[in-house]
Amino acid sequence: MFSFSKIERLCSKKSIEHLFAKGESKTQFPIKLIYTLSEFESPFPVRAMFVVPKKKHKRANQRNILKRRMREIYRLNKHDLYQAVTNSKYDIMFVYLSNEVCDYEAIKVKMIFLLNQLKEKIKPVEVI
């Protein structure tokens, strides 16, 4: 349940291009969330990708630390998002925007906020 395997990762070049072309975004500094409906079949309801621009963080160890923090937060909190997504599949990307290396807790608060916003956005409307 708390794993993040290779097939849950967004790796396809076509999917990434589609995400940039058609995706919607939400920002909660220092994280930006880009999401769209997936065109490809996947056994998981959401495929995720994590980006830290080389332009803002020149050192690879800083980029790796930030990506590890984002992946860990996503891994521990994705189950709520999976429950909200019922019949559709989504591709999402988290982009780190800040020039500084934020600590784990600061990133966690912002990522959980963005995941909750996405969950509310994609939640199917209940007919009474």
Q: What does the mean pLDDT of the chain come to?
A: 91
Residues paired with 34 in a beta bridge: 25, 93
Which CATH number belongs to the domain containing residue 67 in this structure? 3.30.230.10
Q: How confident is the model at residue 2 (pLDDT cuts 50, 70, 90)?
A: confident
pLDDT tens string 16-73: 999 999 999 999 999 999 999 988 888 889 999 999 999 999 999 999 999 999 999 9
Number of domains in the chain: 1
Structure tokens at 43: 């056994």
**61 in a domain, yes or no?**
yes
CB atoms within 10 A of CB 7: 9
**30 in a domain, yes or no?**
yes
Question: What's the whole-number mean pLDDT along residues 12-19?
Answer: 93
| Tokens 């969950």 -> residue | 119
Most confident of 65-74, 84-93, 117-126: 65-74
**36 in a domain, yes or no?**
yes
User: 76 pLDDT exceeds 80?
Assistant: yes
> Is the model more confident about 84 or about 97?
97
Range of the domain at 28: 7-120
> Is the model more confident about 123 or about 80?
80
User: 127 pLDDT exceeds 50?
Assistant: no
Instruction: Give φ, ψ of 79 to 5 degrees.
Output: -60, -35
